[in-house]
Structures are given as C-alpha cells and as structure tokens.
C-alpha cells in the first residue's frame, strides 16, 4: 500500500530536518508546531503516520521521557544516505517498502 501525499511530504520534511539537525529530538506535537510549520502538515495523524513509516525502516527511534511523552530522534548515523535521499524527494514507493540495511 502506497503512502498518501501529505505523509510523503512530512517524511521528506522530517528527513531534511534530521539531516540538518542530527541531534534533534521532539514529540510529534513539537514537530508539527516547530519543525513542520511550513510543510502543510495539517494533522497530528499525518505526522504520526510519517514517524511510524520511518520507525519501521529503522531510521528513527522512540525515547520515553520522564514526563510520559514519547520523543523521536534519528538513529545515530546509521542511515545518513537514506535520510538525504528522502530529503531530496526520493520516490518513497520505489524501493523503500522493506527494512533498510
């Protein structure tokens, strides 16, 4: 099943952000408010779907915080080239369906 346009756009913008800010870490709400304010991310559900797609592929990980909220960060250096391809607009439905190695 392919990704819809808004989810692809958020994946692209998150990838750009993590390429430029490799230590960035935030909640989905924080990402929507501060990272994606110009990316037409219209709902938290879209951000969550994008994060789930990236997590399934091992690009990002969850960090539970003391306040009970979940924050996300990129996996340390493991997939820099993949994030750069996604940030550049790589077709997410082509060759990105499985787990990356």
**Domain-by-domain residue ranges, the chain?**
5-87
Cβ contacts of residue 97 below 8 Å, gap of 6+?
Answer: none
Determine the Cα angle at 97 with ends 55 and 64, to 5°. Answer: 5
The pLDDT value recorded for residue 24 is 95
Return the sign of the alpha-carbon dihedral for residues 49, 69, 15, 61.
negative
The pTM of the full predicted model, rounded to 2 decimals, is 0.81
Displacement of CA 82 from its chain's centroid (Å): 12
Q: What tens digit of pLDDT does each residue of 19-41 get? A: 999 999 999 999 999 998 765 55
CB 86 within 8 A of CB 51: no
Residue 6 has pLDDT above 70, yes or no: yes
- Reported confidence tier of residue 81, pLDDT bands at 50, 70, 90: confident
Q: What is the CATH number of domain 5-87?
A: 1.10.10.10
């Amino acid at each position: 099943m392919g990704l819809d346009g808004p989810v692809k756009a958020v994946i692209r913008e998150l990838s750009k952000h993590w390429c430029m800010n490799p230590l960035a870490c935030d909640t989905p709400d924080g990402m929507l408010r501060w990272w994606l304010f110009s990316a037409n991310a219209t709902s938290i559900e879209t951000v969550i779907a994008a994060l789930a797609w990236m997590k399934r592929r091992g690009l990002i990980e969850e960090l539970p915080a003391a306040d009970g909220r979940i924050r996300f960060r990129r996996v340390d250096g493991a997939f820099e080239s993949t994030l750069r391809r996604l940030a550049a607009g790589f077709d997410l439905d082509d060759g990105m369906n499985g787990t990356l190695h």
